[in-house]
Structure 1
Amino acid sequence: MNSRTLGKTGYSVSEIGLGCWQLGGDFGPLSDQTASDILRAARSLDVSFWDTADVYGGGQSEERIGAFKDKSGVLIATKLGRGPQFEGMTRYTRDKVKDSLAGSIQRLGIDTLDLAQLHCIPIDVLRDGEIFTWLDDLRDAGMVRHWGASVQTVEEGMLALRADTCTAIQTIFNLFRQDAIDTLFPAAQRANVGIIARLPLASGLLSGRMSAATAFTSGDHRNYNRDGAAFYVGETFSGLPFDTGVAFADQLKHWLPTGMSLADLALRWILDQPAVSTVITGVSRPDQLKANAAASRMEPLEAALIEKLMDFYLEKVRPQVRGGI
């Protein structure tokens, strides 16, 4: 596994990381054994960046990571700002932020958080910026080593970058969401802020295994949030209507280089962006992680293909994306 530096944190992180939303059971039931097997596979593959949040499974994702014994050399990043203590994401205070971080520290079984990220909090809170000062204070108090922000739109990412002490931006970025290339990525590079790319396969659309007949369990956000009924529509299928996204994915299959799957193409394309530090992929089986990790060792895509993929996004995909970009 190749590694990159996560901005001014100085941390060395694996190019392919592990998204841990599924460890909370939010994509359907996941046994303790399977969760442990996924984490064990991550260790064996040198996947050294694990991303979780306090609300995944009501803390279950953090607890499962905390119970896993072999975490040496792993950077564990968590998120805060969407839990019940924030009362519908309307009331943020320094004490509530502190309590949220303390809960994550306890569940993860550690003394200090490597990286705490604001979890897609309201844009008005980002505009106000006072929460950045609270995180600075809690960093100085030893609760966190670094803080960053997980965002839903380019505008939100740019607001977080106003804080000199922000060290990482996690953003939706994939073949169906390319806008960050033009503004957010250059700004992050100038500030030496790491970029964590999430939803690299657009909730599975870019795995190449879905069809219009694909169904999801009732507890899977790809069922209950496919049109944004529960939270930001862009978090599910990158904001595309499901059938439209499947059709776009099928078109991309005609351009696959020899020996590449659609998932390979999607991951390699992200890794070919120099601003990206790591790509977090969520998996429900250990073998999926092994397949994802292989993208780190693949050759870069040809420039002509990258240009074709950009044109396809601008002309076909972008007009169909719902929610802010």
Structure 2
Amino acid sequence: MQERILGRTGVPVGVVGLGAWQLGADWGRVDEDEAIATLSAAHEAGVTFIDTADVYGDGRSERLVGRFVRSLPPDRTVTVATKMGRRVPQEAPNYHLDNFRAWNDRSRENLGVDTLDLVQLHCPPTEVYHTDAVFDGLDEMVAEGRMKAYGVSVETTAEALAAIARPNVASVQIIFNLLRLKPLDEVLPAAEKAGVGIIARVPLASGLLSGRYDEQTTFAADDHRTYNRHGEAFDQGETFSGVDYGTGLQAVRRLAALKPEGATMTQFALRWIIDHPAVCVVIPGARNAEQARGNAAAAALPPLPAQTHDAVARVYDDLVRESVHGRW
């Protein structure tokens, strides 16, 4: 698989990674054997970057990822990124060094390592990005050997730009997909200029861009695509990228006409993201080995022609821009 350098970490990673939110069972049940099989299939297909968080399944995702990575032979390396900050009320004063160390201790225990590869603040309150003490504390934790590097996961492009301006932020994780084009305006150019890695998350708009859903599709009660459509539990932008479900279906039907022959909608959506060189890695989730292999195969597709990128922008302008562009 093609590799790119993960921003200021200096570490090469495959352009398609794996998002491990699903393995925490926050998208419905995934048993442990299936989770390990998914991780194994992804790695065998060339995935060398896994993204998790301390709150995914209350640590379940981290524990499963750690178990898998420890099972690999010494010559098989994987970069594991985790996140912290969502274990407390989302108030800026809770983002301080004592809490950071406690969250870090828990993640290191869950993953079974002394030093974490990459730790990201998990979509903290906007004020946090402008608080020097937060970043001083993160620098101190790197100096202590608790983690090799740190980054942020953001909700808005303004937060991303504030993070990119920080000298030691290695990476920014942001929602970027066929239904969320705003990062193209400023964030991707700024990150590329600064040498900050972009991790593209929610690349399939919570599965909407897979093309497998329609008006009759239902989701389990414990699936955020049921309980968070209007931001009831966390930021609305995390579910279907903030796009109204019906509008999203319309957009996907138009986008399907642009899909390269022989590719799935999922692979088309991932290839479109990979075509942007500022993106270091895209992190689709997978619930089983088949999905993991299919996602990884997107890296082998040729770049999309310019006219396809232009057509994607027209679909966005016609159906999506008005509802999401100004919000995130």
Shared topology, TM-score over 0.5? yes
Once residues 7 and 230 of structure 1 are traced to their aligned partners in structure 2, the CA distance between those partners, rounded to angstroms, is 31
Once residues 154 and 163 of structure 1 are traced to their aligned partners in structure 2, the CA distance between those partners, rounded to angstroms, is 15
Contact persistence 2:20–2:52 (CA under 8 A):
yes
The share of aligned pairs that are identical, in percent, is 43
Contact persistence 2:42–2:292 (CA under 8 A):
yes
Aligned counterpart for 2:176 among listed residues 173, 176, 181:
173
Give the 5 Å matches for 1:154-233.
154-233=157-236
Query: 1:306 maps to what in 2?
Result: 309
CA deviation digits over 1:125-159, x for unaligned, max 9? 11223211100010011101100000011001011
Q: Secondary structure at the match of 2:46?
A: coil
Compared CA separation, residues 312 and 322, structure 1 to 2 (3 A): closer
Query: 1:153 maps to what in 2?
Result: 156
Once residues 177 and 247 of structure 1 are traced to their aligned partners in structure 2, the CA distance between those partners, rounded to angstroms, is 15
CA deviation digits over 1:99-128, x for unaligned, max 9? 101110011000101100010000011122
CA deviation digits over 1:222-255, x for unaligned, max 9? 0100111111000000001111111211121122
Offset of 1:67 from its aligned partner? 1.9
Once residues 73 and 110 of structure 1 are traced to their aligned partners in structure 2, the CA distance between those partners, rounded to angstroms, is 14
Compared CA separation, residues 66 and 257, structure 1 to 2 (3 A): closer
Query: 1:31 maps to what in 2?
Result: 31
Q: Secondary structure at the match of 1:40?
A: helix
Compared CA separation, residues 323 and 51, structure 1 to 2 (3 A): farther
Once residues 24 and 271 of structure 2 are traced to their aligned partners in structure 1, the CA distance between those partners, rounded to angstroms, is 27
Q: Which amino acid aligns with 2:133?
A: E
Q: Which amino acid aligns with 2:81?
A: A
Offset of 1:261 from its aligned partner? 2.2
Contact persistence 1:239–1:323 (CA under 8 A):
no
Query: 1:9 maps to what in 2?
Result: 9
1:53 paired with 2:53, answer yes
CA deviation digits over 1:234-290, x for unaligned, max 9? 000000111111121112112223222221211111000010000001011110111
Name the count of aligned residue pairs.
Answer: 323
Offset of 1:188 from its aligned partner? 0.6
Contact persistence 2:90–2:125 (CA under 8 A):
no
Q: Secondary structure at the match of 1:230?
A: coil
Contact persistence 1:105–1:111 (CA under 8 A):
yes
1:245 paired with 2:248, answer yes
Aligned counterpart for 1:77 among listed residues 75, 78, 81:
81
Offset of 1:87 from its aligned partner? 3.6
Give the 5 Å matches for 1:100-139.
100-139=103-142
TM-score normalised to structure 1 length: 0.96
Aligned counterpart for 1:96 among listed residues 96, 99, 105:
99
Q: Which amino acid aligns with 2:180?
A: R
CA deviation digits over 1:65-116, x for unaligned, max 9? 1222334400000001111xx3444522210011101110011000101100
Offset of 1:195 from its aligned partner? 0.5
Contact persistence 1:81–1:89 (CA under 8 A):
no
Aligned CA RMSD, in angstroms, stands at 1.3
Q: Secondary structure at the match of 2:124?
A: coil
Offset of 1:322 from its aligned partner? 8.1
Q: Secondary structure at the match of 2:17?
A: strand
Q: Secondary structure at the match of 1:282?
A: coil
TM-score normalised to structure 2 length: 0.95
Contact persistence 1:227–1:241 (CA under 8 A):
no
Q: Secondary structure at the match of 1:102?
A: helix
Once residues 89 and 178 of structure 2 are traced to their aligned partners in structure 1, the CA distance between those partners, rounded to angstroms, is 35
